[in-house]
Structures are given as C-alpha cells and as structure tokens.
Amino acid sequence: MLRIGICDDNGRDIDRIKGLALRFSAEHPETPVQIQAYESPYDLLDDMEKTGGFDLYLLDVVMPSMTGVDLARRIRERKERAEILFLTVSREYTVDAFSVKASGYLIKPVRKTEFDEAVLDCIRRLSPEGHPALVLKAKDGIHRVPVHELMCIESFNHNQVCTLSNGSTLETSATLAELMEELEAYPAFVRPHRAYIVNMEFIRRLVAYELVLTNGKRIPVPQSGYGRLKNAYLAYMTRT
C-alpha cells in the first residue's frame, strides 16, 4: 500500500493528480494506493498529527497560506521516511527543494508519463531493500513490520502493543526483552522505561520526567534513567 498525501489549493489540479494516481495503481496492481487530498497545508498537518504521515507527498509550491517548501520543512521535522514531489508551474524553487530533500518536480499540467516515472522512482527509494523488518506473531497471523515504521512498543497485560508510524497498532505475545534483543542492532531504539521500547526517530520532546512522540503519546521517564536516555538521544541525533 502506497499512502499518498496531496496538498494543492486548486481543486482541479487535485482531481487531476488523484486521477493519475488511480490510473498508476490500476496499471501497477502490485502497488495499491490510498489517497488523501487537502486544499490547506494546515489541514494536512492536522491530519498527520492525528493519524500519522504518508509515504509520498505531492505538494503545490505556491499556496496562499504556506508555501509547499515550508510545508515540506514541517513534514521533515517529523523525522519520518517519506518521498516528496513538488507540483509547480516553474523550476525556480530548485535550491529550496534540495534543502528539504525533495525527490523532484512535476510541472503543471502534469503529464501521465512524467507522473508515472516520478512515482516509480519514489517507490524504488521506499522499497524495503536494505530496510530490515521484524516478523511478529499476532492473533490474526504473522506480520512483517519494517523497523523504520515502528514508533514504540508498550507492554500491556502480558502482551506487547506495537504502534506504527501510520497510526495503526499490532499486538504480539513476544516479550519486551525478546523484542529489544532483536532491536539492539538498530541504534534508534531505546528502553526509556521498563514497560516501553521507543524509536528515537519519533521523539518530539524529551524532558526530565517524560518524552513525547510525534503522535502525541507521552511516555514516562524515571528520574534515574533520564541522564542515560538524554545522552543516547543526543548521540543518535548527532549521527543522523
């Protein structure tokens, strides 16, 4: 599933992009798409806070309330892995686009061949090659969870609840210690509390008594462990 977020203040341009995305998915059945469109950058940002981000963003460069480049900066602040394509009538924002690690431009009116090529390129960069995953047993079967999508794990009533970057949850019977043993190979993961494992990519704020994730979830931090966690977080952010 490729989750696509579109933001453009022109409704007709949105309809064209949605149509191109649906045609792309029909011609590439291995890549079903889920599309959400917004005419306001603030509506997109609000939804991201509530339900998580997207795999691919298609952002109009020139909008009245916030430029697409500024919106891209806000998206990048979340430290989530995603591809960004700008929708524009010119290429004058090349330098700014580079600063937010955009994948490229689509010139309006967007043509199908250019759209398909750009999206295929983004999918290749998002592919799981080189991006490891956990294999988790749940009540409804076995799930493969990409490590970069794992936001946190909480121990609850002898089960572990995994929260993913798209807002979904998955319950597994593996112990927290077993999961941490698998995740120790990845420097992003820490145990700030005996009942939690956290992916530091998703930490929005860290203070002496708690940390806050990008989805707003608050996780307690014992006073005795704050110094160790702060040092680990600073070291990780310096590396990335």
Enumerate the CATH 2.40.50.1020 domain ranges in the chain, comma separated: 133-239
Per-residue pLDDT tens for 130-173?
Answer: 567 787 888 777 787 888 889 999 998 888 999 998 888 999 98
User: What is the CATH number assigned to the segment(s) 133-239?
Assistant: 2.40.50.1020
| Short-list 44, 110, 113, 36, CA closest to 78 | 44
Q: What are the b/e assignments for 32-44, b being 16+ CB within 10 Å?
A: ebebebbbebeeb
Asked whether the beta carbons of 172 and 137 are under 8 A apart, the reply is yes
Tell me: pLDDT of 44 over 60: yes
The tokens 């936001």 sit on which residue? 151
Region 50-69 average pLDDT: 91
Structure tokens at 194: 């005996």
Q: What is the chain's mean pLDDT, rounded?
A: 88
* pLDDT at residue number 97: 67
Fold of 2-126: Rossmann fold (3.40.50)
- Among 34-48, 81-95, 166-180, 215-229, which stretch is predicted with the lowest mean pLDDT? 81-95
Enumerate the CATH 3.40.50.2300 domain ranges in the chain, comma separated: 2-126
Per-residue pLDDT tens for 65-115?
Answer: 899 999 999 998 877 778 999 999 877 765 566 678 888 889 999 999 999
* pLDDT at residue number 93: 62
